[in-house]
Amino acid sequence: MSEWRDLLIAAARRDAETRMRLVQSGELFAGYHPEMEAVHLENAALLERALDAMGWPGPGALGDEGAAAAFMILQHAISRPDLQRRGLALMLDAIPRGQANALDAAYLTDRIAVFEGAEQTFGTQFDWDTNGQLSPAPTRDPADLDERRASVGLPPISEVTAHMRARAASEGDAPPADRAQRQADFEVWARRVGWRA
């Protein structure tokens, strides 16, 4: 198991280092950067092999750092809908055994819903709105959102929205110049990788 732990931690570090370099160069936010997607796909293939070998790679098998790396890789495997759906099912089975947590499952549940074109449940996924503000992607039952968020350990949506906007500004992320073109490009990508029929 320690081999999987080391491999997954190294892969997660490569993801973070690539992202940071692309943020610093200003290249990250112009669509899904090909280098970032290549790292995500390579890491997804590694995680898929780990899932085949051991099932859900929770802290009991990989320790907290290894389990966190596995989740990060899964959350970033956006070009692999099959892997994200499989990982979510394994996580949900692992939660009662203490080998996954509801907070991570909430993030992945929302990410899958948004990529499938559905409303998210916990308000964890953000995008640029029509007013040029970074805001939660469409969310079901907004009146009960903070209650659902609290049930999995998330702070109120207003706090996270302020944090996300400040982070975007500090990283140089900005609304797309052509929101309609960005959405069209996203739909083409989503069909290509299998999020859309």
**DSSP letters spanning 100-120:** S-HHHHHHHHHHHHHHHT--B
Q: Among candidates 138, 139, 132, which has minimal Cα distance to 173?
A: 132
Q: % helix / strand / coil in the chain, to the nearest 5?
A: 70, 5, 30
* pLDDT tier at 30, thresholds 50, 70, 90: confident
| Side-chain-side CA neighbours of residue 130 (13 Å) | 1
* pLDDT tier at 110, thresholds 50, 70, 90: very high
Mean pLDDT of the region 96-111: 97
Mean pLDDT of the region 7-18: 97
* pLDDT tier at 29, thresholds 50, 70, 90: confident
* pLDDT tier at 80, thresholds 50, 70, 90: very high
**What dihedral do alpha carbons 121, 122, 125, 131 form, nearest 10°?**
90
User: What does the mean pLDDT of the chain come to?
Assistant: 95
pTM above 0.85, yes or no: yes
Coil/strand/helix, residue 28: coil
